[in-house]
Structure 1
Amino acid sequence: MAGARTGAGAEVGPRGAAGLGADPVRELMAEHRELCERATHPLEIAALLEEAGLGSTAVGRYRHADVFSLAEELFARVPRRPSAGAPPPALGQDPSAPRSRWHRGRAGAALLGALLLPLVTVLGGPSGPSGQAAVGTAVALVLAAWAAGGAAERAARWVRHAGRIQLRTAGTLAQFRARMRPVLPVALGLHLAVLALTSLTALAVLTAVAPRPGRAGAGGLLDEVVQRAGPTQWVAQAALGLLIAVAAVLRRCGRAGAALVGLLAADGLGAGLSVLRSCGLLPTGWAAVPGALTALAAGAVAAVLLPYAWVALGHPRAHR
């Protein structure tokens, strides 16, 4: 087998110098063979080596100047094995299809629960005419979040597409991560812009159909539309939009389990807070404000998923 390549590109003979073994890279090949067989780009191998604590000093033992050049050699020397020995489907059937449908069904139910949070958490809050107005506004915001769901999926596809482009063009793992840093904020910002537009449209239709008593013509239609939802409801809608968009990105980038857990956690937290409010176990001041429980439930889960997604998207294997 040809000698290992150094960082300067020179060839090292099979006997090497400084008393090193004949092929010091072979031990890494044996230790990480399964990953190397499944890798689609050297950056995936470089990320694993960095996670294993292989720094620039340790790389020298393998006659390379940096982790990326070592990963390139591992990628070149280990043959690809896409299926990892999985048995072929019988008679053209996909044995994973029922399981995939089950996962999609759970994900769809969790997403529906998240979309309904503005309505679920407002029920049992304010009473009388103000309560009825809050319910109408919540219905409009639910429809707006549903209408913006397609934008979340498109943003998620764009994130994955951008990652695949950087896999082909980035020269090092550090360069790949640097280029991917602005991708998630841009995708989330675009989705929030679409969500704001659909929310304003839904509230405008609601205002035209059922104007609030004493507000007709006061300040113009735009002012009435903006004031239709209170500041807390707008914060809740933004938190919900972030949650849905981050979950969509995680699903597209191989983290469907984390996305499902996040959506279920938001659903459970929102429902639990509503029950606690109904039982009088929450302060009546802030808990009765429309949107407060949605903002708390969706915002808390989104605050956990956002840094997780930020780190996950820095790994090349998330963009296969």
Structure 2
Amino acid sequence: MSGLGELDRPETPRGPGAREGAGGEDVGGEDVGGEDAGRAGRGGRQSPPASAVRRSAADPVKGLLHRHRELCERAVDPLEIAAGLEAHGVTDRTAARFRHRDVFSLAEEMYARVPRDGDTPARPEDGPAPRPVGPRAAGFVLALLPGVLCGAAVAGLRLTDGRPRLITAAVAVLAVSLALGAALRRGPLSAATRTTSTWTCWLLGYALLGDGLMRTAVSGGPDGLPDGSPDGAWPVTLAPVLALTLSYAPAAGCAHLFAAGARRKLSSSRGLTDFSASVRPLLLGTFALYLGALTALLTLTGAVLGEPADWSQGLSLGALLLLARLLGVHGHTHAGPLVLTATAAAEAAALATVFAGRLPGCGFLSAPVEALVAACGPAGVPTAACGVGALTLLVHACRRLTRASAHASTERTR
């Protein structure tokens, strides 16, 4: 699930005389010893020539450099080579077989030994080039735009009635969707992931309309419009959706802080274990920071709109969407869409079982959902579905986003 393409596929030893070191890299044999390493006999009893053994002992990195030459040539710094080696399964223990204390020092030697046309290696003391202010300001405006447009849409829905309200709702949905799509195409949350817009729209739509539909379905409806609905309109829950759109800006900021912090720790760490141990608290802290911002927004929007603050549903959905996007940003493009699809399917199945339970002899189908609604209210269904999905992605992110290979190229794409 790493999403790094060929770097995620460990290579197998290419010769019968190759020995596999810790982590899956070939140590010795024809790959490390050079092209003219000795060929083993039919039963593995024939030893390689003495010249190949001396050459391998004198320069153990040469064969490794030959195997990963393409990686080394396109790398912009040694850290990217270290991340690529880790994706191949090279560990600090494997690096010791190449006479290096860790993967990072091995990557530094490989980076220095690959010739580049007119390029000079970046020196650690050289700071990053200053970024233009214009694109950063544009990204900040785009991050705020979905929340601003959603707030304007909510105000328009409160001030209109009848057909103008329907037109306002249609225009609002289109405007917010376009703004959110533009914001997701650049900035810290931009990623070339598999399409998830359908399931994301379903989850947001359920947060807007699902509670009213579930409440009506459990009570025996709908037979037209729900009883007690103001002005004959379907009951909607605006506060969670408004809070989630407003939380895009904090989410983008948290994603930037995580990527920048991980990059700094990648520069200062001297081992893969050390890096993973230092990035895991950073990931959890960033996640908690976003949940804190979303909690404040849910409280604020609930108070302004006069709706009861239901933190569980909004927090579980926000956590699910953030983690799915973070995994996609850092190259893991399969887990997020899969969990989003399963979560949306669970919500749809919950509604379907309630209606299916009305068929003769099928009351047992709706019993679990009705029990959950009776205990936790209609919000219990999306809270349970999104909560399980978010917990699954959090465990997966703690494994994948703490690897050096997840941060190999994030700095270049920002």
Q: Please confirm whether the aligned pair reaches a TM-score higher than 0.5, indicating the same fold.
A: yes
SS at structure 2 position matched to 1:116? helix
Question: Where do residues 260-275 of structure 1 align in structure 2 (5 Å cutoff)?
Answer: 260-275=337-352
User: Among 295, 306, 309, which residue is 2:397 paired with?
Assistant: 309
Which residues of 2 match residues 61-100 of structure 1 at below 5 A? 61-79=97-115
CA pair 273-170 structure 1, distance change in 2 beyond 3 A: same
Alpha-carbon distance in structure 2 between the residues aligned to 1:181 and 1:104: 23
TM-aligned CA deviation for residue 244 of structure 1: 1.7
Note closer, same or farther for the CA distance 1:196–1:74 as it changes in structure 2 (3 Å cut). Answer: same
Q: Decide which structure has the larger Cα Rg and report it.
A: 2
Which residue does 2:254 correspond to in 1? 155
Separation of aligned partners in 1, 2:194 and 2:329: 16
Change (3 A) 1:277 1:120: farther
8 A Cα contact 1:59 1:66, kept in partner: yes
Give 5+ residue unaligned stretches, structure 1: 1-14, 82-99, 208-224
CA distance in 1, matches of 2:194, 2:263: 28
Checking the alignment, whether the CA contact within 8 Å between 1:152 and 1:248 is kept in structure 2 is no
Task: Say if 1:243 and 1:298, in contact at 8 Å, map to a contact too.
Answer: yes
The 1:122–1:36 alpha-carbon spacing in structure 2 relative to 1, beyond 3 Å, is same
Q: Distance in 2 between matches of 1:310 and 1:182?
A: 9
Candidates 166, 170, 180, aligned match of 2:265: 166
Query: Shift of the alpha carbon at 1:68?
Result: 2.9
C-alpha offsets along residues 149-172 of structure 1, whole Å, 9 cap, x if unaligned? 222222112211222223333343
The question of 1:205 aligning with 2:304 is answered yes
Q: TM-score normalized by structure 1?
A: 0.68
Q: CA deviation at 1:242?
A: 0.9
Post-superposition shift, 1:249?
1.9
Question: Could you list the per-position Cα deviations for residues 92-149 of structure 1 after superposition, in whole angstroms to 9, with x for gaps in the alignment?
Answer: xxxxxxxx8996894444433332332343243223789969x857332222222212
User: Is 1:235 aligned to 2:312, yes or no?
Assistant: yes
Amino acid at match of 1:240: L
Superposed CA offset, 1:23-47 (max 9, x none):
2212212233333334444344445
Q: How far apart, in 1, do the equivalents of 2:379 and 2:116 lie?
A: 51
Equivalent residue for 1:286? Answer: 372
Match of 1:117 in 2: 206
Identity %: 33
Residue of structure 2 equivalent to 1:96? none
Cα RMSD after superposing both structures:
3.6
Q: Which has the higher contact order (CA 8 A, sep 6+)?
A: 1
C-alpha contact 1:46 1:173 (8 A) present in aligned 2 = no
Q: Which amino acid aligns with 1:286?
A: L
Any conservation in 2 of the 1:286–1:292 contact (CA below 8 Å)? yes
CA contact (8 A) 2:73 2:116 kept: yes
How has the CA–CA distance of structure 1 residues 65 and 158 changed in structure 2, closer, same or farther, with 3 Å as cutoff?
A: closer
Q: Which residue of 1 aligns with 2:293?
A: 194
Q: Does 1:259 align with 2:339?
A: no
How many residue pairs were aligned?
Answer: 265
SS in structure 2 at match of 1:307: helix
Partner residue of 2:276? Answer: 177
Question: Where does structure 2 lack aligned partners over 5 or more consecutive residues?
Answer: 1-49, 118-184, 220-225, 358-364, 410-414
Q: Which residue of 2 aligns with 1:5?
A: none
Deviation at 1:183, TM superposition (A): 1.7
